Amino acid sequence: MRSRDLICGLAATMLFAAPAFAQVKPPKHYGSPIAEADVAALDIDIRGPDGKGLPPGQGTVAAGEKIFAEKCVACHGEKAKGGSQFGAMVGGIGSFTTNARVLTPGSMYPYSSILFDYTRRAMPMDSPQSLTNDEVYSLTAYIYHLNGLVPADGTLDAASLPKVAMPNKDGFIVDDRPDTKATRCMKDCPPINN
């Protein structure tokens, strides 16, 4: 009887689950070519220490302080010292060689454009990608200012942001194991020998 109960239970689950599956439809125009403008909206990555891909615009520490108070403080706390949803985003510089290391944009990021990329892409967490580029530059300037890396009257743009000197610039090692260098094969590929 137990297995029959189980089967009945499964059948009921499937019955109720079926409408949920049916609602998952492929996006409209799935499989059709995508317009350049739509690709551009997705193509927002910033490629490394030289800041390639940083958009036009600029922002000041002072403007960032205001925006932070409106859109970030609820989760990150006053002066980014830690809030309801996340710990400190300031301090910790030099703590990597101790057991009590504190990971913040100032102490951890090896290059400065990471903060811009992350904030533009993912924050504020309840409304990601709602910030203008000027707002993201301002917030980046403000958070780096709180970390002692940008002066109080500082302005950041695509040219100056990559020049912010990051204390942990040399704190990461390059992963040079051979399997990190696999070359991509798209056609007539050799068999995989595992």
Per CB under 6 A, residues contacting ligand HEC are 71-72, 74-76, 85-86, 89, 103, 105, 115, 118-119, 123-126, 139
Q: Whole-angstrom Cα distance, residue 67 to residue 131?
A: 10
Shortest Å distance, C-beta 1 to ligand HEC: 47
CB of 64 to ligand HEC, least distance (A): 8
Please give the angle made by the CA atoms of 164, 157 and 53, to the nearest 5 degrees: 95
Q: Which two tokens stand for residue 134?
A: 């000027």
| 89 versus 164: smaller Cβ distance to ligand HEC | 89
Q: Which is nearer to ligand HEC, 4 or 131 (CB)?
A: 131
Nearer to ligand HEC, 85 or 132 (CB): 85
Nearest distance from C-beta of residue 180 to ligand HEC, angstroms: 23
Dist CA 90 CA 145 (whole Å):
9
Cβ count near 172 (within 10 Å): 11
Q: What is the nearest approach in angstroms of ligand HEC to the Cβ of residue 75?
A: 3
Cα separation values, 48 from 110, 175, 185, Å: 10, 16, 25
Nearer to ligand HEC, 9 or 48 (CB): 48
**Smallest distance, Å, CB 73 to ligand HEC?**
8
125: CB partners within 8 A, 6+ apart: 75, 85
Q: Which is nearer to ligand HEC, 8 or 167 (CB)?
A: 167
